[in-house]
Structure 1
Amino acid sequence: MPFTFNFGGFDPSAFGGFGGGEASQPQRPRRERKPRKAIGNAFTRTLINLGVTLLFGLGYFYFELPALNFHAEEFYVFLFLLCAVYCVCAVITSGFQGEGVKGYFGFVKKQCTIPFFVLVALIAAIVIGGLTSWVVLRAGSYSELLSVQTGDFATEVEEISYDQIPMLDEDSAARLGSRTLGELSDMVSQFEILPSYTQINYQGRPVRVTSLAYGDLIKWFTNRSDGLPAYLIIDMVTQEAEVVRLDEGMKYTTAEHFGRYLPRHLRFHYPTFMFADPVFEIDEEGHPYWVCPRMVKTIGLFGGSDIQGAVLVDAVTGESQYFEEVPSWVDHVYDADMIMEQYDYYGMYHNGFINSMFGQRDVTLTTEGYNYIAIGDDVYMYTGVTSVTSDQSNIGFILSNQRTKETHFYSVSGATEASAQASAQSQVQQMNYIATFPLLLNIADQPTYFMALKGNDGLVKMYAMVNVQQYNIVETGGTVAECEANYRRTLADNGLISDSESEAAPSDQEEASGVVAEIRTAVLDGNSYYFLRLEGQEVFYAVNAAENPLAVILNAGDQVTVTYTAGESGSILTGTSVTRAGETDVSFTVPEEDAAAPDETADAAPAQPDAETAPAA
């Protein structure tokens, strides 16, 4: 009998209260859920499901641009999403039929049988493909991705002219480009610069090029009919930036939208190709192209990333063509990071995976960082190689052709690039200059790190050379010629080269002989300079009297020979020596900042050249 409360004759159960007696309030009857009706018949539902899935697939493909290739990871994501969308549509159009959890599960299973088997097949392909690509099982294949030849540094790496040495890094090039675009009022208000600067060999000189981009979506809308009107080219030797205007604007770039967006344009024309990041280049006539390397997987389904040719896209017209062997003017096909990754595979696994983990005999890795140098018609990537057991010194370095991937290893033990940078910075520590990542040059058959020293404003102030094998041998200079001359003398003082080699003229020197037609003087930074003009010439040769006393006694009509820095242009050229008939050579070097036009203290200064065009040694 249930327990009830009764206070003074009050019985709460009579009112349906909490007494819990037989007179408690009756429960509301449950309503049975009516099953939802399916849409149409089975054939109609299937068409609806396929139509929705197709629309979703087209939209996803348009915006995400997955490669329709079983070697591409994004392709499997695409298929997974298509199966999921189909299953959801099938459940909705069939009316959510079934009773309870078990009933719903059976209903869903019935509607999604085909997508379910597709998903199982995809998962199996991913597992099998991942195993066949696993580096533990395929270490030998990974080590063969890059073919490395051993070379001799002194005989194969020639001393190159200074007009081939890039003296700017990407950051400095970007600063110059931004400054140059900022001077053009008609462009800076509508356009900006793409942050990626591609280093190429253009008409025999190392330059960096990049395209413009629209300032924002509104500016794209107002300028899209004409396209991007220009691109930038930065000369890495003269440090001059130029905005090259085009007769017809570029309409296919990474800054476009919709059908003219470069990756979408590529995907619609090459739906099965996988692409590495496209790079902007110009041919020898200055016409803009996008070089789009075709990426392939060579180990299993997902391993062994490599490049197999490239698609060249005309940035103006959008015309494209696939080349398995790209034209010789193309410089950037293989990305530096990919080459370094492939060398790391070679260095780690050429003696097997077990050796890379235990014993580590002859295991090597690339150092952190790389740089580019122009050799012949191609651009080569340089990076150091160090032992896996030590990061304090290099055992050598590699040069890899970025067009063909031809790679040579040179065994040159010495300091790492970071050590060379620190050594160079210590020479000018009072200036707080920062050294760029070095290049490796051949100076008198001595492997030498060459780097620029930048100030806080990001511009190049000086240059430094550091001997690779004896990195305590460091010399700097305000010009490259001065830096090399100082470095050669130090090499001779340390017995590494002969005295005659230390006096050898730099590789970029030329001579001019003639009769002095005109002499003018100026005082620059407390030093007297003589500006000589020879008969039949319009340029002046700057001579520092403090370093070349012969200049003081020169007169108009004297027969002289002036050695000057080649590759310069402008009204004033920087010399390295001057002789008069019957006199002894006297060498001198003019600092870069002194190569500008004479200031107001000049006795009779010639016409002032622009500071921008005054060449540096």
Structure 2
Amino acid sequence: MPFQFNFGGFNSGGFQEGGTGGFTPPPKKAHKPRKAIGNAFTRTLINVGVTLLVGLGYFYLELPALNFHAEEFYVFVFLLCAVYCVCAVLTSGFQGDGAKGYFHFVKKQCTLPFVVVIALIAAIAIGAISSWVVLRAGSYSKLLPIQSGDFTAEVEEISYDQIPMLDADSAARLGSRKLGELSDMVSQFEILPTYTQINYQGRPVRVTSLAYGDLIKWFTNRSEGLPAYLVIDMVTQEAEVVRLEDGMKYTTAEHFGRNLYRHLRFHYPTMMFDDPVFEIDEEGTPYWVCSRIVKTIGLFGGTDIKGAVLVNAVTGESIYYEEVPNWVDRVYSYDIIMEQYDYYGMYHNGFLNSMFGQRDVTLTTEGWNYIAIDDDVYMYTGVTSVTSDQSNIGFILSNQRTKETHFYTIAGATETSAMDSAQSQVQQMRYEATFPLLLNIADQPTYFMSLKGADGLVKMYAMVNVQRYNIVETGGTVAECEANYRQSLAHEGLIDTGEAEVIPGDQEETSGIVAEIRSAVLDGNTFYFFRLENADTFYAVSAAENPQAVILNVGDSVVLTYRTGDSGSILTGTGISRFPRLEGDDQLTLTERGTPSESDRETAAKEVPGAQSAA
């Protein structure tokens, strides 16, 4: 007789008897549907209320633009739909058997959000297709109107005492050092790292706002606001902390309602903005320039600027200008301008040409810099062929206020090649070149750059000819660098000898007949004092620096340079030269005879070995 075992839960029925293998499953518990909250109206109020609260919190923190052209708008709406659906399911109770039952239940509760999401997805798809560069290449290529120009005719030659010598990093170092000198500020405030280059009262400067050191320092100083801003003169390298009578209460460093981004969004909920830029007007009033972004191709393509909102940093007063005031210098950022030119360079001959053949396809180079022209700031960058990036075919200059853009055909070295050339001149010192400025020196397109040591401080300056980048000169000062560069240009036959002479901006030239000469030894150096006819002023000239002064006599015709900052009856002479007198004009002054010719100057300079001809 076979043995049969029956443990709890098992029976003797085998698989062959149609059983369950001897296992009896436990009985299932009946599922109780959760009870819904209140009636349908109450549930709807709760769902909408929670959705609004979450939406307001998200809007306050993330500040999305309520604009169909803004991608963050769709994220915001999707979030609201998701929150509403979750609330609807929770307030209605989980009802339905199995996964299919739950799906139908959720679908019933979230019909409206589902419809909204599907509609937005369709809008995004249509908007993306309508913005696709493959279909709209012609529109993209016309975003930036470009005019051809003559560089030497349109870009004025600049004097050495007007050349901006500071890059952004050097300006930041000067600013930090200046703030460190102010004991009442350095412990409470920091400097915003975003220095803006502007033209202020005819000078190229960089400006930036202060920021609170931390949250505690914001709390203790917020009632007065930020007390000052910094102005860095890019020519004189002087840093100034401009103290305000009333502090700045609306900045990017603020919190809550006075935060600049929040202030903008609450006043202009539908506008899209570029990064705010700190500027000051001609009276020194601080403003934030907030450029308005628009999409001009489809829903998401063709990023452009249409006016700007100016926010007074002290009062918070904001005004939208479609045509911004002339004192504003930066409305169009460098990245928008470069992006729009790249669209032009790539697609002005069609999309297929950009892929196959690539006739006249160009791109901007990697770097950029700024030039002050008249009362505006222009961004410049090099342009190179997409098939060869070893040299530039030209440059663009674009007005950052109006977007007026000129292209100059100047074949030559790229900016990085010029930087390498400059560094090779001082390779034993291991200086690093800053990204160059593009200047007009003696009607020659010229790269100008600073050479910085390992400590980040400027040690020397360099100039490199764009078209012939083997012409490289350096100097310990900008004046010396320019003088050396002009001499090299003259040596290469690119300019006349007369154009190689540089009179510094703090000096002037005069001419006449020597009426009186005196001499004196001062601090071991012999000085000669010259007085010209019909004048009472003496010019003190060092014999060590100007050997020709030793052999000059009363009655000689001379040209003198002197410092303009001096006053009194004795002025500091910096150079003197004699040129041949003509027969019969002994009684004429140089003014009556006219300015000495270049050949006269050269003759005068050669009369005494080592003599200096100042012109």
Q: Displacement, 1:481?
A: 1.7
Q: C-alpha distance in 1, partners of 2:447/2:566? A: 24
Q: Displacement, 1:517?
A: 11
Q: Displacement, 1:162?
A: 3.1
Matches within 5 A, 1:168-179: 168-179=166-177
Q: Displacement, 1:30?
A: 2.4
Note if contact 1:160-1:507 (Cα within 8 Å) is conserved in structure 2: no
Instruction: Please name the residue that 2:51 is paired with.
Output: 53
Moved more, 458-467 or 177-186: 458-467
Q: C-alpha distance in 2, partners of 1:479/1:529? A: 27
Paired positions, count: 569
Instruction: Please name the residue that 1:431 is paired with.
Output: 429
Residue 317 of structure 1 pairs with residue 315 of structure 2: yes
Q: Displacement, 1:497?
A: 1.5
Residue 368 of structure 1 pairs with residue 373 of structure 2: no
Instruction: Please name the residue that 2:594 is paired with.
Output: none
Q: C-alpha distance in 1, partners of 2:149/2:225? A: 47
Closer, same or farther in 2 for the Cα pair 1:491/1:166, shift >3 Å? same
Closer, same or farther in 2 for the Cα pair 1:448/1:43, shift >3 Å? same
Q: Aligned with 1:96: secondary structure?
A: coil
Residue 197 of structure 1 pairs with residue 228 of structure 2: no
Note if contact 2:474-2:484 (Cα within 8 Å) is conserved in structure 1: yes
Which amino acid in structure 2 is aligned with residue 487 of structure 1? Y
Q: Aligned with 2:135: secondary structure?
A: coil
Q: C-alpha distance in 1, partners of 2:517/2:372? A: 38
Note if contact 2:439-2:448 (Cα within 8 Å) is conserved in structure 1: yes
Q: C-alpha distance in 2, partners of 1:155/1:164? A: 19
Q: Alignment partner for residue 187 of structure 1, among 185, 189, 199?
A: 185
Q: Displacement, 1:147?
A: 0.4
Note if contact 2:155-2:373 (Cα within 8 Å) is conserved in structure 1: no
Which amino acid in structure 2 is aligned with residue 235 of structure 1? D
Closer, same or farther in 2 for the Cα pair 1:568/1:430, shift >3 Å? farther
Q: Alignment partner for residue 282 of structure 1, among 280, 287, 308?
A: 280
Moved more, 42-51 or 480-489: 480-489
Note if contact 1:401-1:407 (Cα within 8 Å) is conserved in structure 2: yes
Instruction: Please name the residue that 1:251 is paired with.
Output: 249
Residue 306 of structure 1 pairs with residue 304 of structure 2: yes
Instruction: Please name the residue that 1:598 is paired with.
Output: none
Instruction: Please name the residue that 1:160 is paired with.
Output: 158
Residue 216 of structure 1 pairs with residue 214 of structure 2: yes
Which amino acid in structure 1 is aligned with residue 266 of structure 2? F
Q: C-alpha distance in 1, partners of 2:421/2:540? A: 32
Matches within 5 A, 1:111-150: 111-150=109-148
Q: C-alpha distance in 2, partners of 1:283/1:33? A: 73
Q: Alignment partner for residue 464 of structure 2, among 463, 466, 484?
A: 466
Gaps of 5+ in 1: 6-10, 590-617
Residue 409 of structure 1 pairs with residue 407 of structure 2: yes
Deviations 1:302-328 (A, max 9, x none): 000000000000000000000001000
Q: C-alpha distance in 2, partners of 1:364/1:567? A: 49
Closer, same or farther in 2 for the Cα pair 1:534/1:340, shift >3 Å? farther
Moved more, 267-276 or 484-493: 484-493
Residue 40 of structure 1 pairs with residue 41 of structure 2: no
Note if contact 2:66-2:270 (Cα within 8 Å) is conserved in structure 1: yes
Q: Aligned with 2:263: secondary structure?
A: helix
Note if contact 1:522-1:530 (Cα within 8 Å) is conserved in structure 2: no
Q: Alignment partner for residue 493 of structure 2, among 492, 495, 504?
A: 495
Which amino acid in structure 1 is aligned with residue 501 of structure 2? E
Q: Aligned with 1:394: secondary structure?
A: strand
Which amino acid in structure 1 is aligned with residue 438 of structure 2? L
Deviations 1:167-226 (A, max 9, x none): 100000000101110111111100000011000000000000000000000000000000
Note if contact 1:165-1:374 (Cα within 8 Å) is conserved in structure 2: no
Which amino acid in structure 2 is aligned with residue 475 of structure 1? E
Which amino acid in structure 1 is aligned with residue 211 of structure 2? A
Instruction: Please name the residue that 1:382 is paired with.
Output: 380
Q: Aligned with 1:403: secondary structure?
A: coil
Residue 332 of structure 1 pairs with residue 326 of structure 2: no
Instruction: Please name the residue that 2:593 is paired with.
Output: none
Q: Alignment partner for residue 546 of structure 2, among 524, 542, 548?
A: 548
Q: Aligned with 1:395: secondary structure?
A: strand
Note if contact 1:233-1:243 (Cα within 8 Å) is conserved in structure 2: yes
Note if contact 2:85-2:109 (Cα within 8 Å) is conserved in structure 1: yes
Q: Alignment partner for residue 85 of structure 1, among 60, 66, 83?
A: 83
Instruction: Please name the residue that 1:596 is paired with.
Output: none
Q: C-alpha distance in 2, partners of 1:542/1:26? A: 121
Q: Displacement, 1:483?
A: 1.3
Instruction: Please name the residue that 2:474 is paired with.
Output: 476
Q: C-alpha distance in 2, partners of 1:33/1:541? A: 110
Closer, same or farther in 2 for the Cα pair 1:235/1:560, shift >3 Å? farther
CA RMSD of aligned residues (A): 3.4
Deviations 1:411-460 (A, max 9, x none): 00011111111111111111211111111111222111111111222222
Q: C-alpha distance in 2, partners of 1:248/1:520? A: 56
Q: Aligned with 1:127: secondary structure?
A: helix
Q: What TM-score results when the alignment is normalised by the length of structure 1?
A: 0.85
Moved more, 191-200 or 434-443: 434-443
Moved more, 462-471 or 402-411: 462-471
Q: Aligned with 1:429: secondary structure?
A: coil
Moved more, 242-251 or 443-452: 443-452
Instruction: Please name the residue that 1:343 is paired with.
Output: 341
Q: C-alpha distance in 2, partners of 1:512/1:423? A: 39
Closer, same or farther in 2 for the Cα pair 1:327/1:19, shift >3 Å? same
Deviations 1:28-49 (A, max 9, x none): 4322121111111111111110
Q: Displacement, 1:504?
A: 5.5
Instruction: Please name the residue that 2:228 is paired with.
Output: 230
Which amino acid in structure 1 is aligned with residue 319 of structure 2? Q
Q: Aligned with 2:389: secondary structure?
A: coil
Q: Aligned with 1:209: secondary structure?
A: strand
Q: C-alpha distance in 2, partners of 1:4/1:543? A: 133
Closer, same or farther in 2 for the Cα pair 1:15/1:281, shift >3 Å? closer
Q: Aligned with 2:228: secondary structure?
A: strand
Instruction: Please name the residue that 1:65 is paired with.
Output: 63
Closer, same or farther in 2 for the Cα pair 1:284/1:553, shift >3 Å? farther
Closer, same or farther in 2 for the Cα pair 1:137/1:567, shift >3 Å? farther
Note if contact 1:518-1:534 (Cα within 8 Å) is conserved in structure 2: no
Which amino acid in structure 2 is aligned with residue 172 of structure 1? S
Closer, same or farther in 2 for the Cα pair 1:344/1:577, shift >3 Å? farther
Q: C-alpha distance in 2, partners of 1:552/1:182? A: 50
Residue 397 of structure 1 pairs with residue 395 of structure 2: yes
Q: Aligned with 1:391: secondary structure?
A: strand
Which amino acid in structure 1 is aligned with residue 244 of structure 2? L
Closer, same or farther in 2 for the Cα pair 1:458/1:554, shift >3 Å? farther
Q: Aligned with 2:239: secondary structure?
A: strand
Q: Aligned with 1:430: secondary structure?
A: coil
Q: C-alpha distance in 2, partners of 1:530/1:4? A: 135
Which amino acid in structure 1 is aligned with residue 441 of structure 2? I
Q: C-alpha distance in 1, partners of 2:210/2:509? A: 41
Closer, same or farther in 2 for the Cα pair 1:531/1:217, shift >3 Å? farther
Q: Aligned with 2:370: secondary structure?
A: strand
Q: C-alpha distance in 2, partners of 1:265/1:517? A: 71
Instruction: Please name the residue that 1:593 is paired with.
Output: none
Closer, same or farther in 2 for the Cα pair 1:405/1:479, shift >3 Å? same
Q: C-alpha distance in 2, partners of 1:358/1:549? A: 68
Q: Alignment partner for residue 72 of structure 2, among 71, 74, 78?
A: 74
Q: C-alpha distance in 1, partners of 2:261/2:523? A: 58
Deviations 1:581-604 (A, max 9, x none): 999575489xxxxxxxxxxxxxxx
